[in-house]
């Protein structure tokens, strides 16, 4: 099955979606984010929803956590992938400790 990927008026024919696996991903500023480990597909619409990067650059993602990058953030695909957008820093939300409820005496 051939999949046509349109990225900012450029079209690249992929023979298989698996060709994306292993490609290096860079931000628009040229900072390496990581390698594509998997592709997130919308099977019902036959399109790619995003890319999954398991090991990320700790300068961009706290604790080098895995991220799923929406396909609409991709600017170009060739020998590498260039993103049109990626946050300056992805941080993990810290849970606030639950307040201890002290029963009132009557």
Q: Where are the domains of the chain?
A: 3-83
Strands (E), the chain: 3-7, 10-14, 24-26, 32-35, 38-42, 47-53, 67-70, 74-77, 81-83
Over range 55-64, report the average pLDDT.
Answer: 95
| In this structure, CATH architecture of domain 3-83 | Roll (2.30)
Give the predicted TM-score (pTM) of the model.
0.74
Helix/strand/coil for 79? coil
Residue 35 pLDDT greater than 80, yes or no: yes
Residue 27 pLDDT greater than 90, yes or no: yes
What confidence tens digit (pLDDT) does each residue in 82-104 have?
Answer: 999 999 988 877 766 665 556 56
Kindly list the strands in the beta sheet with 67-70, ordered across the sheet, starting from the edge strand earlier in the chain: 38-42, 47-53, 67-70
Residue 65 pLDDT greater than 90, yes or no: yes
pLDDT in the model for residue 6: 46
């Amino acid at each position: 099955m051939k999949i046509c990927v349109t990225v900012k008026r450029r079209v690249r024919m992929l023979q298989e979606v698996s060709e994306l696996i292993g490609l290096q991903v860079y931000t628009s500023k040229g900072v390496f984010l990581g390698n594509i480990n998997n592709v997130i597909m919308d099977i019902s619409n036959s399109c790619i929803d995003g890319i999954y990067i398991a090991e990320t650059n700790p300068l961009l993602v706290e604790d080098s956590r895995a991220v799923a990058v929406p396909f609409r953030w991709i600017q170009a695909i060739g020998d590498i992938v260039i993103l049109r957008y990626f946050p300056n820093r992805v941080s993990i939300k810290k849970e606030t400790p639950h307040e201890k409820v002290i029963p009132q005496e009557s």
